Amino acid sequence: MIALIDYGSGNVRSVFNALKFHGADVRLTADLAEIEQAEKVVLPGVGAFGDCVSGLRERGLWEPMKAWLASGRPFLGICVGYQMLFEESEESPGVAGLGFFGGKVRRFDTPGLKVPQIGWNSLDFQPHPLWAGLAEKSHVYFVHSYYPEPTDEKCIIARSTYGVPFAVATARGNVAGVQFHPEKSQAVGLGILKNFLVG
């Protein structure tokens, strides 16, 4: 069973449907007992970093998410769900992230750059099970103004460039996060979610 964490963030239904496309037993849940019984956890996220942190805390899910990450069980963070894996974000000064990865989430500030980045961009990826079967330079869909800057570059499994190179995806052990929206990335995104489900 896959626990898709329900904490008031938007766009959950499209992630749910994308996972169901592959026949997964997906539960949209904030129930701690149900989450504990899950084989894998998916943490989506849309909106401001601080609001997403507050949403998890208000539902009593913050410490359980930290415990899940510490356990080494399979976890996928999407968009702000990826950003929350880091220590902090320029978007919400003073708000601590989950701190699974060292580093800070930064805002794009290249002169002349449209922010947020909305649209398709290519992946420059390192070998990782999430990318199994993907063609090099596969394109995925982004909607974001901020991006994580990991302190340990060895954790970066994919990069892209939008004015500056940035870490599109980061992983350590069974925990991974992606800045783009696989649920909106058509066949490539569905392939990535399938790789997470079977990995």
Please, what sign has the CA dihedral across residues 163, 165, 166, 169? positive
Q: Where are the domains of the chain?
A: 2-198
CATH of range 2-198; options 3.40.50.450, 1.10.3720.10, 3.20.20.480, 3.40.50.880? 3.40.50.880
- Using the predicted structure, report yes or no on whether residue 163 has a pLDDT greater than 90: yes
Q: Which two tokens stand for residue 172?
A: 């350590």
The three state secondary structure string of 101-161 is CCEEEEECCCCCCCCCEEEEEECEECCCHHHCCCCCCCEEEEEECEEEEECCHHHEEEEEE
Give the pLDDT score at 11. 72
Mean pLDDT over residues 72-77, rounded? 97
| Local confidence band at 199 (pLDDT 50, 70, 90 cut-offs) | confident
Phi, psi (degrees; rounded to nearest 5) at 51: -65, -40
Active site members: 79, 181, 183
Q: What are the pLDDT digits (tens) for 121-140?
A: 999 999 999 999 999 999 99
- The count of C-alpha atoms lying within 13 angstroms of the C-alpha of 77, restricted to the half-sphere facing its C-beta, is 28
- Cα separation of 78 and 8, whole Å? 14
Q: Which residues contact 161 (CB under 8 A, 6 or more apart)?
A: 121
Computed over every residue of the chain, the mean pLDDT equals 96
| Local confidence band at 8 (pLDDT 50, 70, 90 cut-offs) | confident
Q: Are 156 and 147 within 8 A, CB to CB?
A: no
Give the pLDDT score at 110. 86
| Local confidence band at 180 (pLDDT 50, 70, 90 cut-offs) | very high
Mean pLDDT over residues 31-52, rounded? 95
- Using the predicted structure, report yes or no on whether residue 116 has a pLDDT greater than 80: yes
